Amino acid sequence: MKIDSAVVVITAGGSPSGRAMAEHFCSLGANVVLLDTEWPALRLSADQCRDYLGRVQPICLADHEPDSIHDAFTQVTQLFGGIDVLINHWQGDVLPSLFDRQKHYDGPKTLSDTTSQYFLVVQRAAECMQQRGTPGVIINVAGTHLTPDTVANAMIGGLTQRWAKELSALKIRVGGIVPRHRHQANSGIDDEFIRNAEYIVSNDSFNGRLLEASG
């Protein structure tokens, strides 16, 4: 897929990793839509993309409920005519040990909420891509604050493979990016995530697989 003029939707668009991803794709001429629930951070991300060739559009979600997600993608379709690429950041956290009694944890609820939000975004994006009738790409991305021993990598791997099989008939490819090693903040892992995302979008044969970013 050509990135120039593609419509790229990035969730967690106000986060540092979402902001870096947005800047890169705008610099390549893509039309980038940023989704988040925090307007100040979202506006900062959009402002940092203004000088690039691609157009940037921030959309602030009221919450992560189905109606808000549906309305956001409807707005994207109205503005740009459809969606070509979704870069969907996993926003969950680590899964602690079953025997860790030192910390309070409402794990099942937290995991359920995170997985539901993640699924709803991909579901709505896939519907928009199907309506557009052109090949699409969905990239499942682990947050760069996570480490390989978290639930995110396992979840992303399984979902990527399943969705790739389910959406192949619609000419929608699905890939994933997860961290390989433990890393410190600002270690450059964002740069490798960005390179991997660009590779997945550009490589029309990439489907149902994960790339690991080492930083």
Residue 105, domain member (yes or no): yes
Render pLDDT for 102-132 as a digit per residue (tens, 0 to 9).
554 455 545 567 778 889 999 999 999 999 9
Residue 69, domain member (yes or no): yes
Residue 20, domain member (yes or no): yes
Strands 85-90 and 136-142: parallel
Residue 1, domain member (yes or no): no
Q: What is the mean pLDDT of residues 158-186?
A: 86
Please check the confidence at residue 13 and state whether its pLDDT lies above 70: yes
Name the domain count of the chain.
1
Give the model's pLDDT for residue 109.
47
Residue 114 belongs to domain with CATH number:
3.40.50.720
Phi, psi of 176 (to 5 degrees): -140, 155
Domain of residue 57 covers 7-213
Residue 71, domain member (yes or no): yes
Helix, strand, coil tally for the chain in percent (to 5): 45, 20, 35
Residue 2, domain member (yes or no): no
Residue 81, domain member (yes or no): yes
The closest of 143, 120, 145 to 64, measured between CA atoms, is 120
Give the model's pLDDT for residue 186.
47
